[in-house]
Structure 1
Amino acid sequence: MAEGEAPEIVSPFRIRADRCGRLWVLDTGIEELLGAAKPLAPTSLLVYDLHNDNLLRRYKFPKDHVKEDSFYANLAVEDSDCDDTYAYAADLGAPGLVVYSWKTQESWRVKHHFFHPDPLSGNYTITGISFQWDDGLFGMALSRPQPDGFSTMFFHPLSSTNEFSVSTKILRNQTLATSGNIYKEFKVLGSRGPNGQAGVAFLDQKTGVIFYALPNLNAVTCWKTSNRAYTIKSLGRVYMSTTDMVFPNDVKVDDESNLWVLSDRLHQYMYGTLNPKDVNFRILTATVKDAIENTACDTKIKPLPDIITNLGDILRPSTTAAPPKSGAQAILISHMALLLTIFVKLIL
């Protein structure tokens, strides 16, 4: 490398391995991110061949993709078609989303007010350290392809407790995605409740369960995407610890259905001091099956709204005349109603 020339990789912020044997690297190109930040290279996507480590492609973001406050901090890859793969890069500093097409080697920037932080969700207190962040779009998770061939992207700003979604059919259409007509295509799913700010997210396509890192709670939680409700009660608590899970900073699920979580005490590094005698960095793992067992995300348990709906169909009076029920039938229905009441109270 010649003097003054930037290295091949400057500051890799997120990586993703796709099903096509490629490693995608989101490089901010900025040196000393937490100090006197110095841009050494343009924000770029680098794609490597996992079989031989060769650099397959470097894509530099166009200048109009990088705003004054831009900071690209997360990456999602839609890889159902290896020749027509799409990468999505989240800008949390100047809230926006860059969509990159592997096939055409083009990109475009998408804007939406759902990408912006919630001013009421910028306060953080983790292990006694309080601070404020106003970070926008960060967490992204992609579903398996839907019947129309496109995935659903679930997303949220870091400083927000709300979850949103949009079809990649909208995002991958450059003309539509960059127009002002897409606002109605985005959906609000619900809220994770107080202190429910979420960092990274990852969707296990085998179970349809999304895993979230919740730094304010030192926890990892989950949501089953087949559940029509998105509330505190429909989220499952996977693991919470003020020792092992202090600032969960990354979450992944591998092809063998193992959940991996990285906790790194980032807030202490930024605003306090890391104690070298402590274990500050941890990688925790569990099978997806064990992680969601007996939680609201357990795939063996039917979502509560569906249970109530189905049982309601049984108990709901018919609009047509029916013969009087026997005493035994009446007692049975009463018992069913009582059991439903107890079941709901236990879950809620």
Structure 2
Amino acid sequence: TNIVLDDSRSSASRHSSTCDNLFAYISDTVAPGIIVYDGRRDNAWRVTHASMYPDPDLGEYDIGGEKFTLMDGVVGLAHSPAQGLLYYQPLATDRVFSVSTAVLASGPPAEGTDLPVNLVGRKSSQGLGIAVDPRDDTILFSPMTETAIAAWNPITNSHRVLAQDSEKLQFCAEVRWAERDNGAVWALSTRFHKYFKRSVSKHEINVRVLRVKEPGYGGGYVPIHPHVLRRAANF
């Protein structure tokens, strides 16, 4: 489960003096859907869509040659205030989807109404953590098989790999753009697959908090060809 807070409507509201004027979007992985909570009205509702369910063809994962199967639905969430979009991805998929936050915030959908979901793009493999760089709305994510942190801008279609490490970046559960750290990207790698398969060793480092410094801060990321991964030493 992930929670994203949306306070983008606060400045235009007479209730902006309180921190309650926000929406929270909560992923439900087991019963795939997104729960929307309206803080000002203290009300909540649930939305669902076929895209939030796991893809049966992508329920097997391969991390460093270690394979496991997990059919998890929507889990990763990221908010783009500038685009007015909530990005999301199930664990068992190679796709990223989006839905308008205006639609989510408008209240419970009428019976029989389809949620207007868009397919944003496809990744090289499955992943959990996802984030947005608000400076240019680049999507940050961590493809599991490649044990990497990558960036993709859906507006310009530019692809970048920020870091790759076959040991340190195993199963990144969280990826975050750090506003107060000069644009660095923080990641939480967990080696969850080893816990899941009960092959974890107490003699190894299994949980890491990693800081990936953006190369050439202020000048943008270093662009490379899509899906081509390279090693970065900026850990």
The yes-or-no answer on 1:209 pairing with 2:141 is no
Q: Deviations over 1:26-85 (max 9, x none)?
A: xxxxxxxxxxxxxxxxxxxxxxxxxxxxxxxxxxxxxxxxxxxxxxx1111112224421
How do 1:300-315 and structure 2 match up within 5 A?
Answer: none
Distance across 1 between alignment mates of 2:203 and 2:161? 29
Paired residue for 1:252, among 163, 170, 176? 176
Contact 1:248 1:262 in 2 (8 A): yes
Q: Deviations over 1:93-136 (max 9, x none)?
A: 11111000110111001011111111111111222321111111
Contact 2:149 2:163 in 1 (8 A): yes
| Corresponding residue for residue 336 of structure 1 | none
Paired residue for 2:119, among 172, 176, 188? 188
| Corresponding residue for residue 78 of structure 1 | 6
Q: Which amino acid aligns with 2:7?
A: D
Contact 1:109 1:178 in 2 (8 A): no
Q: Higher relative contact order by CA 8 Å / sep ≥ 6: 1 or 2?
A: 2
The yes-or-no answer on 1:243 pairing with 2:174 is no
How do 1:107-256 and structure 2 match up within 5 A?
Answer: 107-146=44-83, 151-175=84-108, 177-183=109-115, 185-193=116-124, 196-227=125-156, 229=157, 234-256=158-180
Secondary structure at 2:206 match in 1: coil
Q: TM-score, normalised by structure 1?
A: 0.57
Secondary structure at 1:217 match in 2: coil
Q: Deviations over 1:262-315 (max 9, x none)?
A: 112111122133222222222211334558621259xxxxxxxxxxxxxxxxxx
Q: TM-score, normalised by structure 2?
A: 0.82
Question: For the aligned residues, what is the CA RMSD?
Answer: 2.2
Distance across 2 between alignment mates of 1:288 and 1:86? 30
Secondary structure at 2:200 match in 1: coil
Contact 1:84 1:102 in 2 (8 A): yes
Q: Deviations over 1:189-240 (max 9, x none)?
A: 22114xx11211011212311111222321111111322x4xxxx4322211
Structure 1 280/206 Cα, relative in aligned 2: closer, same or farther at 3 Å? Answer: same
5+ long unaligned stretches in structure 2: 11-18, 226-235
Indicate the percent of aligned positions where both proteins have the same amino acid: 27
Structure 1 217/178 Cα, relative in aligned 2: closer, same or farther at 3 Å? Answer: farther
5+ long unaligned stretches in structure 1: 1-72, 298-348
Distance across 2 between alignment mates of 1:76 and 1:94? 18
Paired residue for 1:279, among 192, 195, 205? 205
How many residues are treated as equivalent by the alignment?
A: 213
| Corresponding residue for residue 104 of structure 1 | 41
